[in-house]
Amino acid sequence: MFVKGCGQLVLGCMAVAMGISMGAAQQTAAAPAGAAETAYVPIPGFDTSSIDATADPCTDFYKFACGRFAANHPIPADQAGVDQFYALYNVNTQALNGILTKEAAGGASRSPDEQKIGDYYAACMNTDLIEQKGLAPVDPLLKEIDGLGDGMRAKLALPMLIGKLQRMGVSVFFGYGEQQDFKDATKQIAFVSQGGLGLPEKDYYLRTGAKDIEIRQQYEAHIAKMLTLAGEDAEKAKQDAAAILAFETALAKGSMGVVDLREPEKTYYMKSIADFEASISPVNFTQFMEGIHSPRVTELNDSTPEFFPVLVKEVRATDMETLKAYMRYNVLSAYSSQLPKRFDDETFDFYSRKLNGQPEQEPRWKRCSNAVNGALGEALGKVYVAQYFAGDSKAKMVEMVKDIETAMDRDIDSLDWMSPATKVRAKEKLHGVANKIGYPDKWRDYSALEVKRDDPVGNSERADAFENDRQLNKIGKPVDHGEWGMTPPTVNAYYDPSMNDINFPAGILQPSFYDKTQDDAVNYGHIGAVIGHELTHGFDDEGKKFDAKGNLSDWWTAEDTKKFEAKTDCLVKEYGGFTAVHDAAGDVKVNGKLTLGENTADNGGLVLAYMAYLERAKAEGVDLAAKKDGYTPPQRFYIAFAQNWCENARPEQVRNQVLVDPHSPDHFRANGAIVNQPGFAAAFSCKKGAPMVPADSCRVW
């Protein structure tokens, strides 16, 4: 969601914010039927095979800890890159596929949830049926778009149809949804936001470099091809594509950039519905809310207020033919993975091959397993947890989280730059953090969602509508603090500033991130640093603006904020100096401002995890000089941390990530944090002034 839950460990939440159809972007390519053919195995918690012992850890710690990773892990053709997250994602997807293959076999003994996940998967895998159906499943929507007619009357009828399309997962024109009120976290309210773009974010439409121009040309050709595949005359499709790109470019000009979107006070403008409607006259917003099945609201957050006047103006200025083609294209794009292969292949070709450099589509069993995880994540997650989430890992996680929270308590005490008054409030916030580990206490009820074995597109439409209605039905109701924003098999974690909670799905609590066969040094370096990362998000440049109760309120003294900003500026400069892509299309540097929250979390998280580890080791009488696998416990801790970020990536993917994603590319996350660690030099006997122990290091938390 646009305005919340952006403190994730990996992957950009910004992409979702910008209204990209990730369904289309991620679920791409041709596919042999059948179950998993590759047996994916987890990477162990302490991966000696990745260590390059010939590298000097004091000079380039990433090279030392991960130097042999890329050679040992060539990028499979069906991936944009490979790293620890991808490796575990493959292991988990294989596990999900095992569950789904069994449930897809059918049988009368299946529970209602098992029927739904099994039949959703079976329908998705049935490519013969998909070919046979052709465009018939989306025909009613395409006809409705065509039937709008022409001129002003057609434009006035648009809001109802836009609502209907958005409800079924077709992200056109703008965004609408539910969020916790930034200033009163007990309230769930409606928000509207910018959206409607098919490229990752606004600057993709506006930058003038050769690579940027090339991507826009490829995007335009892709739109034309999709329209042609659906039966449009090639010449007409070309004209439509050019007009659609021009329309989206105008919307991009009225959109906020990725750096501003991270600032909650820049995306919070409460308005009465009457005032909002007046600002977008003559648009009938009530009709839109009817179309999307929203409860009536009296107020909403107009989160990107400069966008709507531009949107209204552009819709007015653009002919109905173009707007219809824009909606037609978006319907085809949103459902491409459940449409005939030609649509699926074309969507893959642009979003994954051209934009991300991925040569081949993921096999269909992977894509369909993840489609079920997206549509019925807690029904599938319930089975996944029962089979794969051992009870003892939850107990160990609870202990580690407590250790790291205790470390942060001590860390706050020891800060020389923070006043006693702000320290009291910081601790209040820390003690207010709720910890969620593994899976929800109460599973989601999918009984109202109909899944048919012979209707892949319909399943996708109904699942999107079900999720839309679930979200919007929260408006006006009390907050459910037990709700999860990620499904249990997800390999990720997040902090939610409005909830003030940290969330670790079962999917990430496995090797390499958590390995019960390893010692504490390794696990505190891996998952401990992840826990510290999420906890520190509550105190990064964005999280610091929310208090213990999840409200946007400034609990800092002005003096302390000034000192905090001076400290975070150090990180902006450090990461802004990294060159992420260096190729013929031009250098791309890491955006120090965009990645500041994540970098602060990485740095603080590692400090806290190490403090917590040393305490745990002391309590358990660990000999910090005793070597295992050739390394002392402190060395194992830091190697395990850096190995969270071992990667092998394609330049296209890195280029995209740097432009859109608030996370720095993986390998910078290793050295970027290591150079600022007070415990690192002693662990590896590095001299002050060595590249990994610079004189002018940064320290916030």
Binding site for Zn ion (CB under 5 A): 7, 9, 598, 601
Read off the amino acid at residue 54: T
DSSP 24: H
CB of 662 to Zn ion, least distance (A): 8
For the beta carbon of residue 120, count every other beta carbon within 10 angstroms. 31
Cα separation of 116 and 448, whole Å? 11
On the CB side of 423, how many CA atoms lie within 13 Å of its CA? 14
Read off the amino acid at residue 14: M
Cα distances (angstroms) measured from residue 67 to each of 154, 648, 667, 668, 683: 60, 10, 10, 13, 19
Which CB, 518 or 536, lies closer to Zn ion?
536
Cα separation of 595 and 586, whole Å? 21
Which CB, 7 or 528, lies closer to Zn ion?
7
CB of 486 to Zn ion, least distance (A): 13
Q: Residue 579: enclosing H or E segment and its boundaries?
A: strand 579-581
Q: Is the peptide bond before 282 cis (omega within 30 degrees of 0)?
A: yes
Which CB, 382 or 537, lies closer to Zn ion?
537
Distance of alpha carbon 682 from the chain centroid: 36
CB of 7 to Zn ion, least distance (A): 5
Q: Residue 608: enclosing H or E segment and its boundaries?
A: helix 596-619
CA angle 331/122/340 to nearest 5° reads: 35
CB of 6 to Zn ion, least distance (A): 8
Residues 156-192: b if buried by 16+ CB within 10 A, e if exposed: eebbbbbbbbbbbbbbbbbbbbbbbbbeebeebbbbb
CB of 664 to Zn ion, least distance (A): 11
Joined together, the tokens standing for residue 363 give 């096999």
Which CB, 198 or 665, lies closer to Zn ion?
665
Which CB, 425 or 669, lies closer to Zn ion?
669
Joined together, the tokens standing for residue 547 give 């208090």
Which CB, 598 or 647, lies closer to Zn ion?
598
Which CB, 407 or 601, lies closer to Zn ion?
601
Which CB, 200 or 543, lies closer to Zn ion?
543
Which CB, 292 or 601, lies closer to Zn ion?
601
Cα separation of 459 and 336, whole Å? 13
CB of 53 to Zn ion, least distance (A): 31
Cα separation of 309 and 586, whole Å? 35
Which CB, 7 or 175, lies closer to Zn ion?
7
Cα separation of 71 and 663, whole Å? 24
Q: Which residues pair with 82 in a beta bridge?
A: 648
Are the C-beta atoms of 581 and 679 separated by less than 8 Å?
A: no
Instruction: Give the list of residues 6+ apart from residue 74 with CB closer than 8 angstroms, or none.
Output: 82, 648
Read off the amino acid at residue 276: F
Are the C-beta atoms of 373 and 489 separated by less than 8 Å?
A: yes
Cα separation of 554 and 531, whole Å? 25
Cα separation of 61 and 96, whole Å? 35
Which CB, 17 or 601, lies closer to Zn ion?
601
Which CB, 7 or 665, lies closer to Zn ion?
7
CB of 408 to Zn ion, least distance (A): 16
Cα distances (angstroms) measured from residue 679 to each of 603, 609, 638, 682, 685: 12, 11, 9, 6, 10
Q: Is 649 helix (H, G, I), strand (E, B) or coil?
A: strand
Which CB, 449 or 601, lies closer to Zn ion?
601
In the sheet that holds 7-8, the strands lie side by side as: 7-8, 494-496, 501-505, 434-438
Which CB, 384 or 539, lies closer to Zn ion?
539
Distance of alpha carbon 612 from the chain centroid: 28
Which CB, 9 or 617, lies closer to Zn ion?
9
CB of 549 to Zn ion, least distance (A): 21
Which CB, 9 or 283, lies closer to Zn ion?
9
Cβ neighbourhood burial of 106 (10 Å; 0-12, 13-18, 19+) = middle
Joined together, the tokens standing for residue 423 give 């320290």
For the beta carbon of residue 259, count every other beta carbon within 10 angstroms. 16
Joined together, the tokens standing for residue 176 give 């609408």
